[in-house]
Structure 1
Amino acid sequence: MSSLHVTGMIWAQPTSDLEAASGEAFQPAHIEALTRAHEDGGFDRVLAGYWTNAPDGFLVLAHAAAVAKKIQFLLAHRPGFVAPTLAARKLATLDQLTGGRLALHVISGGEDADQRKDGDHADHAARYRRTDEFLDVIRRVWTAEKPFDHAGEFYNIQQAWSDIRTAQKPHLPIFFGGASDSALKVAARHADVYALFGEPLADTAAMLDRVRASVPSDRRLAFSWSNRPILGATEKQAWEYAHHIRARAIAKLQQSGSAGLIAAGQAVNSQRLVGLSQRGEVLDERLWTAMAGVLGGRGNSTALVGTAEQVARSMLRYRKLGVSHYIIRGWDPLPDVIGYGRELIPLLHELAAAEDVGRVSIASAAVAAE
């Protein structure tokens, strides 16, 4: 059985789906507090996301690395706005700065309107072709033994070379997500970790089979599963808190002038998550889909609801399918990070270790019987 990794998420200012952002857009003290809470809580990584209105993730993580010396980092990056040769040097520099603690989460972009905010008018299929070429180039920059030329559909580069290389060899890990056929083609060539949103067990198993079928036999992928757990001292309290969260999210949308629900996004993953909310508010016993309906399936918007032990056991069912990485974030970010670190993460590791011991014992007994 694979090991277990837990990734959280950091922002440059206090913000959530329940409360309006407050204060300046870039608040170093908030980055420090949130990063330290993740490190103290036993998270393995923190993710800095990508938004068209947000501070630069490279610098958010650079500041986080200055105050947290053990935790690893995951940087979301959209190809198309920074030349791949420059992106390769920037990423290598940040990997060196963090002492080899960086991974790259490649986001090709699923919403045309959002891409146009940064001046990108490529269509969905072109964005994934560009991502494929972008990753070809940056991996070559990280590993080339001499200057090279590249002539492709999107990039024409002559005598590319970088003096700085990643601290990790041959290069830093690449996370990649996307449910479209175009996305799977790129993942099959480049991903080290394929990232899925929080779907039910059967849907997740089907997606894993689909991804594995697209990957060459000489490549092995790890899998990540995302969720936003809602914990309570009792199951009843957890569900009461979940309904309170939904009411707060709708109130925030109404205050901003929305009718109360966001329409489903253009991205395939967004449509899949909205589809889950239409299938039922609760799937697989405790996978709560209501917030995916409220938020239009954007981002990580399903939640496992229950006590810490109930949620941990539900998460580990995905591990049996082949998931080894979990990306979790809360609805009240800082308090939830502290709660996950106090209750959920220790239980996850404890229960996973017990499962592994059990499997080893069964396997040893089977060998002895032969």
Structure 2
Amino acid sequence: MSKPCEIAWFSALCDDDYEFLGVPDPRLKSSWEHCRDIVMQAETGGFDNILLPSGYELGIDTTAFGAAIATWTKAIHLLMAVRIGESWPAQLARQIATIDRMAGGRLKVNIISSDMPGEKLPSAPRYARTVEAMQILKTLLNGEHLSHQGEFWNLDIDPPRVKTVSGKAPLLYFGGLSEDAREAAAKACDVFLMWPDKRENVAAIIADMDARAAKYGRTLRYGYRAHVIVRDTEAEARTYADRLLSKLDAEQGAAIRAKSLDSTSAGVAAQAALRENASDDGYAEENLWTGVGRARSGAGAAIVGDPDQVLAKLAMYREMGIEAFILSGYPHAAEADLFARHVLPRIDHAPLER
């Protein structure tokens, strides 16, 4: 743990903010004002980065939000999610460079291997398209001429005039557990993101991805996306976890999970298996609670405990090779404040750099 780790928070652009999981609250619905306030709370609390998620059907537009919030913030880095199926890579490169300029060099990009809204591409070609897009973005954002003859794009162009502040492509974060997703990550991303899992499974994924990247002469860095509930005592944290689920209707939870665009992915299946194999009180292992996954797709578990326990859990992941954490809690602004006061000052942290 000699190097600082990056600690990021989450701004709920995709209507994913609750006081009680699965119970919509008009006050917490995604909007410019609400999501802006979460980002500003995270910056005030000292977080290094914040994920700005993206979903076609849910919430507000991420690229537009990222450009706007860049002008409100001064220090926090912005991890802007982009859906490759909705993007033309050369234009996306110009958007990324422009927003990075607006943010003073604080932009990072979370690549999502999405479909075009209304269309459905099989997994293998969809991830092949994502690899092409990442390679195109890196070339153009590194200020290099692009001569690309691919399956999805044939481009012979100079980079856009606008450059990122560094003159280089920002770090590309990317995640996925299917065979196609793992190969795509090994070929082209910089930071491989994982969702919560048992420690032995996290270790196995890192070992597998190290080997895959090595085949292409590359190395990867690793990030971990999880929810967190920290309170003065473990009992208080566990009580709050139970409260989060106290008004959840099982059918409503299933409907929320099914609505997500990634509801059938390998990663979501792994989260479901983690939840199904947990103890009766929902814990997959010490201080890892799977109840969140009953009311959302995607990352479905939370680190739950007192400050020492949460810190120890993060330290364990760091020892395994995790360099970046993307955390969240419900409601997001309130939990950001709690984590910032109870845990963040005790962690050696800083934005992830090349």
Change (3 A) 1:65 1:313: same
Residues 72-103 of structure 1: per-residue CA shift (max 9 Å, x gap): 01011111222111111111111111111001
1:22 shift after superposition: 2.0
1:176 positional shift: 1.0
Task: Provide closer, same or farther for how the CA distance between residues 212 and 157 of structure 1 changes in structure 2, counting only shifts above 3 A.
Answer: same
> For 2:177, what is the secondary structure of its paired residue?
coil
**SS of the residue 1:320 aligns to:** helix
Secondary structure at 1:59's aligned position in 2? Answer: helix
* Separation in 2, partners of 1:25, 1:235: 30
1:163-312 to 2 correspondences below 5 Å: 163-216=161-214, 218-248=217-247, 250-251=248-249, 262=257, 265-280=263-278, 281-292=282-293, 294-295=294-295, 298-312=297-311
- What is the DSSP-based 3-state SS (H/G/I as helix, E as strand, rest coil) of the residue aligned with 2:41? helix
Task: Provide closer, same or farther for how the CA distance between residues 290 and 26 of structure 1 changes in structure 2, counting only shifts above 3 A.
Answer: closer
2:77 corresponding residue in structure 1: 72
Q: Is the partner of 2:26 in helix, strand or coil?
A: coil
SS at structure 1 position matched to 2:223: strand
Name the SS of the counterpart of 1:122 in structure 2.
coil
RMSD: 2.5
Q: Distance in 1 between matches of 2:256 and 2:13?
A: 26
Q: How many residues align?
A: 338
Contact persistence 1:79–1:108 (CA under 8 A): yes
Partner of 2:126: 127
One-letter amino acid of the structure 2 residue matched with residue 94 of structure 1? I
Of 146, 160, 163, the residue aligned with 1:162 is: 160
- 1:306 maps to amino acid: G
Partner residue, 1:107: 112
Match status 1:49 vs 2:47: no
For residue 79 of structure 2, what is the amino acid of its counterpart?
L
CA contact (8 A) 1:28 1:63 kept: no
> Matched residue of 2:78: which SS?
strand
Relative distance call for 1:261 and 1:340 in structure 2 (3 A) is same
Between 1 and 2, higher relative CO (CA 8 Å, sep ≥ 6) is seen in 2
5+ residue gaps, structure 2 = none
Name the counterpart of 1:34.
Answer: 38
Whether the aligned pair in 1 keeps the contact of 2:12 and 2:332 (CA below 8 Å) is no
Q: Normalized against structure 2, the TM-score is what?
A: 0.88
- Secondary structure of 2:237's aligned partner: helix
Give the SS at the match of 1:80.
Answer: helix
Deviation at 1:120, TM superposition (A): 2.7
- The structure with the largest alpha-carbon Rg is 1
Unaligned stretches of 5+ residues in structure 1? 110-114, 353-370
1: distance between equivalents of 2:13 and 2:179? 33
Counterparts of 1:32 and 1:68, CA distance in 2 = 10
TM-score by length of 1: 0.84
Identity over aligned residues, as a percent?
25
Q: Is the 8 A contact 2:93 2:137 kept in 1?
A: yes
Pairwise CA distance, 1:232: 2.3
1:12 offset after TM fit, Å? 4.8
